[in-house]
Amino acid sequence: MNYLGKINDALKNSDVRGWLFCSFRKRDPIALRLLDIPASQINTRPWYYICIKNGENIRICHSIEKDNLSTLPGKLIIYSSYDELTAILHSFSGTTLAAQFDPVLPNFSYLDYGTATRLTEAGIKLVPASSLIQQVLGTLSDSQIQSHEQAARHLYDIIRLSWEKIETRFQAGAAVFEGEIRDFILQEYNKRKLISEDMPVVAAGINSGNPHYFVERAGKQILPGEIIQFDIWAKGQADDDVFGDISWLGYTGPNPPAEYTDFFNTVRSARDNVVRTVSRALASGEKITGAECDLAAREILMAAGYGSYIKHRTGHSIDTEVHGNGVNLDSREFPDTRFLCEGSCFSVEPGLYTDRFGMRSEIDVYIRNNRAIISGGIPQQELMTFRF
């Protein structure tokens, strides 16, 4: 897919003269994706592509790889020596260009220090392309929202079936292990023609206290009176399909202890406060950042006295990658001060983790027609428990 149209639209609303893409040994996957550069391309010499706002784009290629950007429009400038490339770059002195780097957000920092130094020494002012990337890759079209909704609905159904399987095994007095439920989830993905980047999380008991726990082999036996953390994500098989990503919690028994109920209620309240905060901002015409959303969750968790149990941000952007290119809900790890906008899609997943158990409740939200919409189904309102 070629994104030049969306790139041009994003540039029109920006303060920069252009957007600089460069590649050497395919170091920048964002550049390759946005410019639709084939993975098979030989890239032994640096090339540069500059999308100019309201002007002709520029292709800068080495003489032995002069066709590397032949599928793209723009004036071709060829170099064959260090001095020639230096002179070409100096011709853009005084120009402000966006590029793939960000001093705070590491997921966009692909421009190497040496190249950045050379560009600035040529008189080019570089600014982060993070907001441009958000507009081009981090907002969803109507068809992408539909694919996201479909994936999320499947995930809600898979959680229900997974819990029923555990409950049935317990009722029959049979042992059940984390790995068996993980494999069941993967089978459901396959039946529903869903794909995922990694294994789903099925974490029982003490393992639920590890936010990135993944089952090895059979994993731990699921025992009575334990918390089970589910975290599953998947998408349709088309390249442009968008992920769903949800987390639910269960208790292997009929009546959870008060401690578990209190932890869950606090996490749920933090989750729901984020949605209310976003909805209020949109209704009043105010802009809201990912960092502000994270603070809306943290204030609930900390007011309950659970601040020491917070280990991660509140949420992440979702698009064709489960951790996408839009706004993250983060005020602490890598504060994201970009604004949520129409077409943004993101998870809301506050979590609390002790050395005995952990809890994370995750929903997906997207902004459509200036409204915050929760995808997939009704969010979890109470711990799943056994009915016998």
Tens of pLDDT along 278-299? 999 999 999 999 999 999 999 9
Phi and psi of 238, rounded to 5°?
-75, 145
CA distance linking residue 81 with residue 70, whole number of Å: 21
pLDDT class of 2 with cuts at 50, 70, 90:
confident
- The whole-number pLDDT of residue 39 equals 87
The strand pair at 345-348 and 244-251 is best described as: unpaired
Phi and psi of 281, rounded to 5°?
-60, -45
When the pLDDT of each residue in the chain is averaged and rounded to a whole number, the result is 96
pLDDT class of 260 with cuts at 50, 70, 90:
very high
- The whole-number pLDDT of residue 90 equals 98
> From the CA atom positions of the chain, what is the Rg in Å?
24
Report the residue count for the chain: 388
1 pLDDT above the threshold of 80: no
128 pLDDT above the threshold of 90: yes
Tens of pLDDT along 19-64? 999 999 999 999 999 999 998 999 999 999 999 999 999 999 999 9
370 pLDDT above the threshold of 90: yes
Mean pLDDT of 97-121: 96
Q: Where are the beta strands (DSSP E) in 24-118?
A: 47-52, 58-62, 75-79, 96-99
Mean pLDDT of 154-175: 97
pLDDT class of 388 with cuts at 50, 70, 90:
confident
- The whole-number pLDDT of residue 203 equals 98
- The whole-number pLDDT of residue 21 equals 97
Tens of pLDDT along 193-206? 999 989 999 999 99
